[in-house]
Amino acid sequence: MAEKRIADVRRKVSNFLDTDVPVKTGNIVETQNLTKVYRMGKIDISALTGVDLKVPRGDMICLYGPSGSGKSTLLNLIGGLDKPTSGRIMVDGVDLTKLGGNQLAEFRLRKVGFIFQNYNLIPTLSALENVELPMIFAKVQKKERKKRAVEMLASVKMDDRLKHKPDELSGGQQQRVAIARALVNRPSIILADEPTGAIDTETIRMLMRIIRELNSEGQTFVIVTHDLLVAQACKRSIILRDGRIERELTGKEIAQAIIASGRENARS
Amino acid sequence: MSYVIMAVRNLSRSKLRTTLTTLGIVVGVSLMVALFAIGEGMNVRMEEQLRALGGAEIMIYSTSGTRGMRVATRGNPISEEYVETVKAIPGVELATGILSGSGEARKNQTFIIGIDPESYFQLMGELNIIEGRTLLPSDLDSYGTVIGLNLAEELNVTIGSNLNTKSWGGAWDAPWISFEIVGICETGNPQQDRGMFIHLSHAQYILTSKDEYGAGERHVTQILVKTEDPSQIDDVVKRIEETVPDVRVFAAKTMIQRIQESMSTMILFLEGIGSIALIAGTIGILNTMMMSVFERTREIGTLKAIGAKDREILVIILTEAAIIGILAGAIGCMTGAAGTLLWANFSRTGYGITSIQPVITLEILLTMFGIGIVTGVLAGLYPAWRASRMDPVEALRHG
């Protein structure tokens, strides 16, 4: 069953991207020797150095690390927002390094859902319209669009706030709308960049519960964070430092770190 | 929800700014509407004047006392004898003398046109009489006059009414005649439609006598000529110049050419003024759109992250600019038309340049509406292009 779905997705991908369908793998994300160098004036700054990352389908992985560790850069590369200096990124069977600007936009539209720290909802649009937006770009019919947007908002328990504008919603509510927006085009992977950065602990728990629920239904997540509560809620946590993958954090380490920081256990 | 709704929401985000931006184009468009309407009015006026020339192929004015087509009352008129002299010149088929000038009827200003009915109508064609009859040779003895429709309405007079008439601004003892209205005409020439057609000798008595006991000088202000062979007009002009002293002789076609030349210069000038106003408005839109795109950098980054292509960002921003253009075009056409009609209302009784009745045509309105939209879209092109080319990562990091 799962095999068939993957095959379907693959066919669709090759249809709209018109690229070769590569060797089937169980990994939704696979990077090889990924390097990103920024040029600041005359100085080259290495944001990522030789990163090899594999994210299996259905995983919920956390990229943990201090600021400047390259975790956001890695996320942007996986999401097709940025292009690597060298190396290869395969996402859901698509080699991103081979795509041009518009193809990357199409890739983001169909394959990726983004969740941001500042929610980044469009302030002039209602919750419902914000969720409809990706479907407008995907040319989904109006009726279908509205139906799916309501469904998605219901799945994050925001269906009672359809007509509200972002500034009439709390931070947690806005982030739930943003999650619905990320989900609505049925992406292969959801990428979240510090999704809880501006939210209180209670709301973080609620959001992570929603994300875990979605993950248990098979949705793959990659979450960038420096919040241990978020790391604890994920299946795996990877530490990045100075643009390299340092190692994987164990659950025990996270729990100890949380106790040391004086915060409550997120799973309670 | 569509791009249009998104654009409207964005524009209503800062209503004052949108209003002020729109105002820039509104001013430009309404100015252009007014200027084009005046230009059109000048065209209509020229056609009227050409029509007023009727069958006249050559006009003879005295060297002084005349200015273009307007004839002053004083100055140095032509002796009536020369009408016969001109008639005798080889190649001349018809000639008629006219004495015209400002008159006063029932305290109102009017335009007196003294003619010899027989030769005048033979040369110029009959008047368009809408009531009563035309001016006849017999009106010389019965003091009949045919007046223009506008004058009749202004004075509220009709066939059979009497009009005491003297020269405009004449003294209390200036010579006057009580005319009986025998006909009302509508020629389409504003001067004639506010004027009185009377016999030449009556006009001479009113306009050229020193006092009420005077007989009037036997003068005319212009002589109109029809030639036997239109291809020989230039030769006839030369012969008239050689025979009649102290006159200026114009062929109608040269006059038309000259009017058309000065007219096109004028219209070019008006279009220049309007274009400058529009360019200023365009820069206004450009400025506002640049600012609004900059302020929305992160939103544009977000749209790109969730899958908007460059072209879609371009369309969204251009839609906003186009809406400003449509609004400005529509409002500009309305205010321009309103202002022009107001001007027309004030200028109805004026003389000279202010007497030009602006004419608003559908073509002018549609053109200017179109120009409003095009201006908006053109001004939006660069900001929209900038927005579409933003790097999503940079844009998302923006404030």
Region A41-50: mean pLDDT is 86
Radius of gyration of chain B (CA): 31
Counted residue by residue, chain A has a size of 268
Q: Between these two residues, A256 and A133, which has the higher pLDDT value?
A: A133
| A247 belongs to a structural domain | yes
* Closest chain B residue by Cα to residue A185: B306
**Does the pLDDT value for residue A68 go beyond 50?**
yes
Contact B392 A81 (CB under 8 A): yes
- Name the nearest CA neighbour of A125 among B310, B13, B393, B396: B13
Residue-level pLDDT at B68: 41
**Does the pLDDT value for residue B70 go beyond 50?**
no
**Does the pLDDT value for residue B198 go beyond 90?**
yes
Q: Cβ of A215 under 8 Å from any chain B Cβ? A: no
**Does the pLDDT value for residue A6 go beyond 70?**
no
**Does the pLDDT value for residue B69 go beyond 50?**
no
Region A212-218: mean pLDDT is 88
Residue-level pLDDT at A41: 82
Q: What percentage of chain B has pLDDT greater than the value 90? A: 40
Contact B307 A82 (CB under 8 A): no
**Does the pLDDT value for residue B381 go beyond 50?**
yes
DSSP, res A86: E
**Does the pLDDT value for residue B97 go beyond 90?**
yes
pLDDT confidence bin for B148, thresholds 50/70/90: very high
| A129 belongs to a structural domain | no
What is the distance between the alpha carbons of residues A104 and A17, in angstroms, rounded to a whole number?
A: 9
| A153 belongs to a structural domain | no
Radius of gyration of chain A (CA): 18
Stretch among A78-87, A187-196, B52-61, B276-285 having the lowest mean pLDDT: B52-61
In this complex, which of A82, A105, A113 lies closest to B308 when CB atoms are compared?
Answer: A105
| A147 belongs to a structural domain | no
Residue-level pLDDT at A268: 41
* Amino acid identity for residue B138 in this structure: S
3-state SS of chain B is CCHHHHHHHHHHHCHHHHHHHHHHHHHHHHHHHHHHHHHHHHHHHHHHHHHHHCCCCEEEEECCCEECCEECCCCCCEECHHHHHHHHCCCEEEEEEEEEEEEEECCEEEEEEEECHHHHHHHHCCCCEEEECCCCCCHHHHCEEEEEHHHHHHHCCCCCCEEEEEECCCCCCCCCEEEEEEEEECCCCHHHHCEEEEEHHHHHHHHHCCCCCCCCCCEECEEEEEECCHHHHHHHHHHHHHHCCCEEEEEHHHHHHHHHHHHHHHHHHHHHHHHHHHHHHHHHHHHHHHHHHHHCHHHHHHHHHCCCCHHHHHHHHHHHHHHHHHHHHHHHHHHHHHHHHHHHHHHCCCCHHHHCCCCCCHHHHHHHHHHHHHHHHHHHHHHHHHHHCCCHHHHHHCC
Q: Between these two residues, B169 and A149, which has the higher pLDDT value?
A: A149
3-state class of A36 per DSSP? strand
pLDDT confidence bin for A24, thresholds 50/70/90: very low
Which residues of B are less than 8 Å from A123 in CB distance? 13, 299
Residue-level pLDDT at A7: 63
**Does the pLDDT value for residue A219 go beyond 50?**
yes
Region B195-210: mean pLDDT is 89
Sheet holding A220-225, edge to edge: A112-115, A189-193, A220-225, A60-64, A236-241, A244-249
Q: Cβ of A134 under 8 Å from any chain B Cβ? A: yes
Residue-level pLDDT at B116: 94
Tokens of B59: 């006009």
Quick: pLDDT tens for B259-287: 778 878 887 887 888 888 888 888 988 99
Residue-level pLDDT at B354: 52
Q: Between these two residues, B150 and B254, which has the higher pLDDT value?
A: B150
Stretch among A17-21, A123-127, A244-248 having the lowest mean pLDDT: A17-21
Residue-level pLDDT at B182: 95
List the domain boundaries for chain B: 3-49+258-397, 64-245
Contact A114 B312 (CB under 8 A): no
How many domains are contained in chain A?
A: 1
Region B192-203: mean pLDDT is 92
pLDDT confidence bin for B74, thresholds 50/70/90: very low
| A193 belongs to a structural domain | yes
Contact A102 B6 (CB under 8 A): no
| A134 belongs to a structural domain | no
Residue-level pLDDT at B168: 84
Residue-level pLDDT at A5: 62
Contact A125 B10 (CB under 8 A): no
Contact A137 B309 (CB under 8 A): yes
Q: What phi-psi label fits residue A63: left (phi over 0), alpha (psi between -120 and 50 degrees) or beta?
A: beta
| A189 belongs to a structural domain | yes
Contact B303 A133 (CB under 8 A): yes
**Does the pLDDT value for residue B248 go beyond 90?**
no
Region B45-57: mean pLDDT is 74
pLDDT confidence bin for B183, thresholds 50/70/90: very high
pLDDT confidence bin for B360, thresholds 50/70/90: confident
What is the distance between the alpha carbons of residues B205 and B179, in angstroms, rounded to a whole number?
A: 13
Q: Which domain holds residue A36?
A: 2-123+169-261
ipTM higher than the 0.90 cut: no
Which residues of B are less than 8 Å from A75 in CB distance? none
Distance in Å, alpha carbon of A136 to nearest chain B alpha carbon:
8
3-state class of A39 per DSSP? strand
Quick: pLDDT tens for A232-268: 888 889 998 888 888 887 777 877 777 777 665 444 4
**Does the pLDDT value for residue A8 go beyond 80?**
no
At residue B68, φ and ψ (nearest 5 deg) are: 60, -125
| A10 belongs to a structural domain | yes
- Please name the residues in contact with B107: beta carbons below 8 A apart, sequence gap of 6 or more: none
Quick: pLDDT tens for A147-198: 999 988 988 888 888 899 999 988 888 988 998 999 888 898 999 998 887 7
pLDDT confidence bin for B98, thresholds 50/70/90: very high
Which positions in chain B have a beta carbon within 8 angstroms of at least one beta carbon in chain A? 1-2, 6, 9-10, 13, 298-299, 301-312, 392-393, 396
CATH number at residue A13: 3.40.50.300
Residue-level pLDDT at A74: 92
- Name the nearest CA neighbour of B364 among B43, B46, B48: B43
Contact B306 A108 (CB under 8 A): yes
